[in-house]
Structure 1
Amino acid sequence: MSAALESLLDLLDLERIEQDIFRGTSRSAVVPRVFGGQVAAQALVAAGRTVPEDRGAHSLHAYFLRPGDPGAPIVYSVDRIRDGRSFTTRRVVAVQHGKPIFHLSASFQAHEEGMDHQAVMPSAPDPETLPTAAELLPRHAHRFSDPRIVDRLLEARAAVDLRYVDAPPFATAGEPREPRSQVWFRTNGKLADDPLLHVCMATYVSDMTLLDSVLLAHGRGGWAVGDVVGASLDHAMWFHRPFRADEWLLYDQESPSASGGRGLGQARIWTADGKLAITVIQEGLVRVPRD
């Protein structure tokens, strides 16, 4: 296991400070606010720790309310909405400086058999043939608004091996393309067998690239290039089938719409052997800076 992955696992191991109240810290951020995937993953950890072990997360719906302060702890308060015979529902509010910054509702279900069908996995090259972040990012350092961004991005993503199938937005700024993007990802090291851990790790990664397809449609490079101001607004995930976040997962993303200063991204996450594991939808703030 890489040191970066150990650090991320420590970050997700929240401190219980009272019944149904947990406290978390933040890691250094690429931008001056808490990474949205971190808050979502920590909130899901908090919810999961109040749920019976035989129930796995099957969906989450969340809103990002305020930018998080990376220098301050985050308190997660869990509300036990319902404990049914098959389903358990939890609501989590993340608070900093006395104000809510994030709200999550999550549902958990005891395993049961049922009807089973899925879409066909799209084609994608073998992830091992694609450049790593350490190989890709330095090639495009000249495009970034600040050359130090390369090191900050590498540090922020060191726990995850994330590989772009096609050129990312920052590499093709000024060239509009089809609003579609694919990345392969897995953690940089093996994880324990706890299913909640793998779900939370996928939640963490899901906020990294989902709005790329919005940028591609307009030939924008994103915040790193300095031609877009953006932030996550809301986020939803459905966990369909078991998966491991320490094995290759294909994140197939597209954007059906952008309007009103907002862009919508939707995606499916597939296991390497073709199982549809997760569906993700997110809307984000996507503003073009004024001259």
Structure 2
Amino acid sequence: MGDELASLLDLLDLERVEQDIFRGHSRSALVPRVFGGQVAAQALVAACRTVPEGRLPHSLHAYFLRPGDPGARIVYTVDRIRDGRSFTTRRVVAVQHGQPIFHLSASFQVQEEGMEHQEPMPHAPDPETLPTAEETLPRYRELFLDPQVPERLLKARAAVDLRYVEEPPFGRVGRPGEPRSQVWFRTNGKLDGERDDPMLHICLATYVSDMTLLDSVLLAHGRGGWAVGDVVGASLDHAMWFHRPFRADEWLLYDQESPTAQSGRGLAKGRIFTRDGKLAISVIQEGVVRIPRES
């Protein structure tokens, strides 16, 4: 396991302040607010630590209320809403400077057998045939507002091996196309020993799920995003459903599309498949997607 993955796992290892109160720190941010995937993953970790053994998350629904301050600790308070025979429900509020910045509700289920069907996995090239982020990002240096963006992105995402199937939005500026994007991802290192925990794999996937989901909105309009400066955006809400077991340290295909954008908001849907074609996770997010006045 590399230092960057160890650092990410440390980020998700919250300090327990009281029985149902936890505290976490933040990583250096690419923009002056806490990365949404971080606060969502940390909130889910807090919820997981209050759930009876043998129950795994099957869904979460969350709202981003205020921009998080990356220089301040985040306090997560868990409400134990319900413990039923099959399902458990938790509510988590993340607080900074005395104000809520994030709200999450999560449901957990005892594992059981049931009816089975799923959508087929879409076609995608093998991840090993695709360029790495280290090979891709420097090619677009001249497009970014800050020429240091490639290095900052690589540092921020060093714990995750994320590979675009086609050009990212900042590589297709001015060329509107299909509102669809695909990436392969996995952690940069294996989880073993005590860290090889299904809950942790789920929390890591939650962290990554916010990295590229709104790309499909940008692609529909030929916009490059915050790094290019032609869009102002932020996550508004986030929902995930966990269908089947998966490992975050093995390749996962994130298939993303945007059915609509309007009123300064864009909606994106994602499906995450294991490499052998199992639909593991469904994701939906709405975000602010505004065009700056000077654009």
Q: Into which bin does the TM-score normalised by the smaller protein fall?
A: over 0.9
Structure 1 residue 241 corresponds to structure 2 residue 234 = no
Q: 1:20: which partner in 2? A: 20
* CA distance in 2: counterparts of 1:254 and 1:28, whole angstroms: 29
Report the CA distance between 1:103 and its aligned residue.
0.1
Q: CA deviation at 1:138?
A: 0.4
In the alignment, what sits opposite 1:189? 189
* 1:225 aligned onto 2:238: no
SS at match of 1:142: helix
TM-score (norm 1): 1.00
Residue identity matched to 1:288: I
Runs of 4+ in 1 over 3 A off after TM superposition: none
How far is the alpha carbon of 1:193 from its aligned partner? 2.2
In the alignment, which residue of structure 2 is the partner of 1:124? 124
Residue type of the partner of 1:262?
R
Look up the SS of the partner of 2:207 in the other structure.
Answer: helix
Deviation at 1:265, TM superposition (A): 0.3
Residue 147 in structure 1 maps to residue 150 in structure 2? no
1:258 aligns with 2:261: yes
Tell me, what secondary structure is at the counterpart of 2:75? strand
User: 1:237 corresponds to which letter in structure 2?
Assistant: M
Tell me which amino acid in the other structure corresponds to 2:237: D
The equivalent of 1:162 in structure 2 is: 162
Matched residue SS, 1:285 = strand
Note if 1:46 corresponds to 2:49. Answer: no
Aligned letter for 1:17?
Answer: V
Unpaired runs of 5+ residues, structure 1, are none
Deviation of the 1:239 alpha carbon: 0.1
- 1:268 and 2:257 correspond: no
Q: Deviations over 1:1-59 (max 9, x none)?
A: 11100000000000000110000000001111000000000000000000012000000
Identical amino acids, percent of aligned pairs: 81
Residue number in structure 1 paired with 2:283: 280
Q: Deviations over 1:174-206 (max 9, x none)?
A: 000100000000000011321110000000000
Which runs of 5 or more residues in structure 2 are unaligned?
A: none
Letter of the 1:150 partner, please give it.
Answer: P
Determine the structure 1 residue equivalent to 2:203: 200
Amino acid at match of 2:184: W
- Cα deviation per residue 1:257-277 (whole Å; 9 max; x = unaligned)? 000000000010000000000
Q: CA RMSD of the aligned region, Å?
A: 0.4
Looking at structure 2, the residues matched to 53 and 187 of structure 1 have their Cα atoms a distance apart, in angstroms, of 25
**SS of the residue aligned with 1:145?**
coil
- 1:89 matched to 2:89: yes
Deviations 1:99-140 (A, max 9, x none): 000000000000110000001000000000101101100011
SS at match of 1:166: coil
How many angstroms apart in 1 are the aligned matches of 2:217 and 2:270?
12
In the aligned structure 2, how far is the partner of 1:102 from the partner of 1:262?
A: 19
TM-superposed CA distance for 1:148, in Å, is: 1.0
